[in-house]
């Protein structure tokens, strides 16, 4: 298994198998509409921080997309690492356990 070293600049795509980057790109295109700031010049797969406009985005969409990636065996590390990544690289939640629970909830729904 490929070991992923996560830093502040690590893009989400580094946690996703290359064979699933097209699927991730489709999700990121949707996410970009709900990010604060102008990210139009950043290559989608290079996005490393997601400051969502929480007044406009349905966060369930984000969790659904993450769950679908997990269900498609696209995510390299385990769900705990992905949850910690999303806490450190987004404004979805403060505690990784909250993100972990939400992802697992959607995994069950979209299996």
Q: Domain ranges in the chain?
A: 12-109
H or E element, residue 23: helix 21-32
Mean per-residue pLDDT for 78-92?
Answer: 96
What is the pTM for the complete model shown?
Answer: 0.93
Mean per-residue pLDDT for 9-35?
Answer: 97
Q: For residues 2 and 52, is the Cβ–Cβ distance under 8 A?
A: no
Residue 81: is its pLDDT beyond 80? yes
The pLDDT of residue 1 is 53
The pLDDT of residue 4 is 76
Q: For residues 51 and 31, is the Cβ–Cβ distance under 8 A?
A: no
Residue 3: is its pLDDT beyond 90? no
Q: Tokens for 35?
A: 């990010």
Q: How far, CA to CA in Å, does 91 sit from each of 10, 51, 61, 62?
A: 16, 5, 15, 12
Confidence band of 2 (pLDDT split at 50, 70, 90):
low
Mean confidence (pLDDT) of the chain: 94
Match 């679908």 to its residue by tokens: 68
Give the dihedral sign, CA 21/2/4/82: positive
């Amino acid at each position: 298994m490929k070991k992923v070293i996560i830093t502040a600049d690590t893009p989400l795509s580094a946690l996703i198998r290359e064979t699933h980057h097209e699927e991730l790109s489709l999700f990121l295109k949707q996410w970009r509409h709900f990010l604060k700031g102008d990210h139009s010049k950043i290559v989608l797969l290079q996005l490393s921080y997601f400051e969502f406009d929480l007044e406009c985005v349905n966060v369930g969409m984000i969790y659904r997309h993450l769950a679908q990636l997990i269900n498609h065996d696209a995510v390299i590390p385990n769900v705990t690492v992905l949850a910690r990544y999303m806490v450190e690289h987004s404004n979805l939640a403060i505690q990784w356990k909250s993100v972990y629970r939400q992802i697992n909830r959607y995994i069950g729904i979209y299996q």
